[in-house]
Chain A
Amino acid sequence: MPRAAFKVLIRAILPLFLAAAAAACVKVDEDKAPFTGGTAATIQQNAGAGIAIEETADEYDPHRRSALAGGGNNAVVGAGEAAGETGELPPDPPALFLGPEQMTQNLKRAFNYSQGWTDDAGAFHDSILDNYRTLLGGVDFESVSVRDRSPKVNTLLVVRNLAYEIANGIVSRAAYEDTPDTSVFSKCDVRTDRPYDEADDLEDESYRAKRMAAERRWRAQLEDIYWRAYARAPSRAEVAAVRSAFSKYGRDWPPEGWVLTLYAILSTAEFWNL
């Protein structure tokens, strides 16, 4: 073979050879590898290879099994279900339901809200965690050791009740306490400010001006709550939806409208999912 041709051949082959060798030497850092879940296929593979098997929940995975059976109220099949059979990451993994620990932190930071008590040693006992931890898919390392991030119907039942408790708590401390806590309701008077409506048009000009000012404060407050809950401003359509409900149920006594508004905002998919 002519020397020049040999050089060309080496130049062509060598990079391929080096790349193959490098690939063979790469050690996969399992901690950093993407989690693909323990599918039945991989468990079978491990069993065949004599690898110690930790019992997994997959055999009882309600989603997969419900999907196979095709029914039941718990038959909530996420985007990743089909991919779960192949062991590949789904293109659109299901949204992650926030854990109860994350939720209590969010509530504290966004709404200065917590439930619980402080013991003599100064330790805070979080009632949301104590009462709802496992029901919200969390772990307590006593009765539950593996997190369930798929909200079931009963999870949502708890979410709704919790959202109402929180909404009621936040509004009550601003509307009913002798020394109101206005850390959330800082943009409006929670007891008087409400949306301007058609009935206000029938009043005199000074009243209308007062109501318009109250409307502006109400909107500023709603926007502030949206930023706290969702880190974004509300859309026009969202403001309209809230205004409509608020006018119906909070016109005479705005705190009632705020409980409904906060309850709805704290119950949405956007608030509870990543």
Chain B
Amino acid sequence: MKIDRRRLVGNLARSATGIACLTQLPALFSARPAVAEAGAPARRFIQFFLSGGWDSMLATDPPVGVRATNGNFQADYQSLEVKTVPGKANLIVGNGLVPALNAFSTMSTAFVNSLYVEVPAHDLAGNHILSGKLSLSRSREYPSFIALMGQASGAFPPHLDLGGSIPLGDTRAASPPLAAGDMDSLISMLKGPHYDDAERAWRVDEANELIATLDNLRYADLGERGKKRLDVWTSSGKALADVYAGRYADAFDRSDETKARYGFANGWDVGGLVATAFFALKSGLTSYSSVVIGGFDTHMNHLQDHVPRMRVFAAALNALVADLRATPDPADGAKSLADTTTILITSEFTRTPLFNSTRGTDHWTSASAVVMGAGVKDNAVIGKTANDGDARGWVNGAPVALTDETRLMPDHLAASIAAAFGFSDVATRLGGVTIDGLFL
């Protein structure tokens, strides 16, 4: 976050007088079209949310240097391998993400540490990270910023949710996503209902024909006014036929070779979800995918449970980046999907630097993220935690004391991504403060 004196004084004045909320008003009243904001580049976005609270010390913020032995961090971390990303001296990777070194070295990568977490409770912190807005009561939920970006893109589906739900707030604003718990469910949905194992099988197109016939017969009884009342349904139905005809499901590869590369046995495990996100992009089904991967809330046996799960994810990330690099962008054959895809990996918070009595770790008041791919400033590390793991402030590219004005917030990360994608309305809705030095 870049703050100069003028902005600092302005922020202080606004927060003191309660005027800060007024900065949201232009967004509230905006009637600008959401579809394809002028100049918005054709880009893709995959968001991985490692649910439960991943351990930043195994990821983007390993205890090295003074912190390795200062007693504030569990001694067990000292025995774990820590690596610097080849060719990127600033990116020091904890043991959990070491299998993804190749991905980090071949794609522009930045780390964000020391995101301030106001309340380290799963739902509240998770919603804050995913939506970029903090709701301290459960009476009000904000939509995830990926949902707003997908909606603003005007594409169908606005976004794809894999593995688990993300906050949508008001679905009139964020639109219900296309959602699936695993690859098989998604394929089944995209293929459409059909009998394909019977001798006289009927296929989705034939079923559609009967549905259309019944609808049309009914519409004829309703007359013009009745038909008009069903405009929304009718036009969506026509677009649905296009989806079935698009044969998106054919792009999903469940071969043994793919399973081996992504390291999955089933479409619902970690590698399966990562692979599903790739094929959803490759098929052209969607440009915005959110993948929720659980299992990181290790209050017991932290290292035994947390490390392997993170490493499985990191290995799948390697396969994803390799596939993105090997797949031409359908809109521009000179580019690969890696050139037009941005990846965010994050979690609701990190974990306590010291183990609890069951050798597990609990919730900690900071969070971290990896941002990779298109538009990302390579080899950048934003934010720095203190030597005891606490969040610190970040101003003009350097750590400072943590205050309400200097803290690096999930809001800033979300607004930065929305702004980098050209969705200025969404960025404004998220507060409009972006992180300097994260994107080119």
Contact = CB atoms under 8 A, between A and B. Distances in A.
Interface of A: 40, 43-44, 47, 53, 55-57, 59-66, 68-69, 71-79, 92-95, 97, 134-137, 142-148, 150-158, 160-161, 163-164, 235, 237-238, 241-242, 245, 248-249, 251-253, 256, 259-261, 263-265, 267-270, 272-273
B416 interface: no
A237 to B, nearest CB: 5
Given A143-B165, A152-B175, A270-B218, A252 B200 contact: yes
B305 interface: no
A213 to B, nearest CB: 24
B198 A253 contact: yes
A72 B40 CA distance: 15
Contact of B154 (A40, A72, A79, A154): A72
Contact of B193 (A68, A93, A161, A251): A161
B29 A76 contact: no
A273 B156 contact: no
Interface in B354-370: none
A264 B170 contact: no
A145 B232 contact: no
28 contacts: A43-B28, A47-B25, A57-B173, A60-B152, A62-B158, A65-B31, A66-B34, A71-B154, A72-B156, A75-B154, A75-B235, A77-B231, A79-B228, A94-B229, A134-B171, A144-B168, A148-B170, A151-B236, A153-B157, A154-B178, A156-B237, A241-B210, A252-B199, A260-B195, A263-B207, A265-B214, A268-B218, A269-B233
Interface string B197-224: 0111110001101110111011101000
A19 B125 CA distance: 58
Given A69-B34, A245-B206, A157 B233 contact: no
Contact of B156 (A73, A237, A263, A269): A73
B266 interface: no
Contact of B141 (A97, A142, A164, A273): A142
Contacts of B237: 156, 269
Given A57-B172, A74-B175, A252-B200, A267 B235 contact: no
A150 B170 CA distance: 13
A73 B214 contact: no
B303 interface: no
B210 A260 contact: yes
Interface in B220-253: 221, 225, 228-237, 239-240, 242-243
Given A160-B240, A256-B202, A148 B171 contact: yes
Contacts of B172: 57, 60-62, 146, 148, 150
B33 interface: yes
Contacts of B157: 152-154
Given A134-B176, A249-B206, A256 B200 contact: yes
Contacts of A59: 27-31, 173
A161 B188 contact: yes
B298 to A, nearest CB: 24
Interface of B: 24-25, 27-36, 123, 138-141, 148, 151-152, 154-158, 165-179, 188-190, 192-193, 195, 198-202, 206-207, 209-211, 213-215, 217-219, 221, 225, 228-237, 239-240, 242-243
Contacts of A61: 172-173
Contacts of A158: 189
A73 B174 CA distance: 15
Given A74-B158, A268-B211, A66 B33 contact: yes
Contact of A238 (B123, B168, B217, B228): B217
Given A95-B230, A155-B236, A62 B34 contact: yes
A191 B119 CA distance: 59
A13 to B, nearest CB: 43
B229 A60 contact: no
Contacts of B28: 43, 53, 55-56, 59
A32 B195 CA distance: 49
B189 A161 contact: yes
Contacts of A66: 33-35, 154
B193 A60 contact: no
B231 A94 contact: yes
A262 B343 CA distance: 43
A57 B217 CA distance: 35
A264 B210 contact: yes
B175 A62 contact: yes
Given A134-B171, A143-B165, A143-B168, A62 B151 contact: yes
Contacts of B236: 76, 151-153, 155-156
A40 to B, nearest CB: 5
A65 B195 CA distance: 39
B434 to A, nearest CB: 20
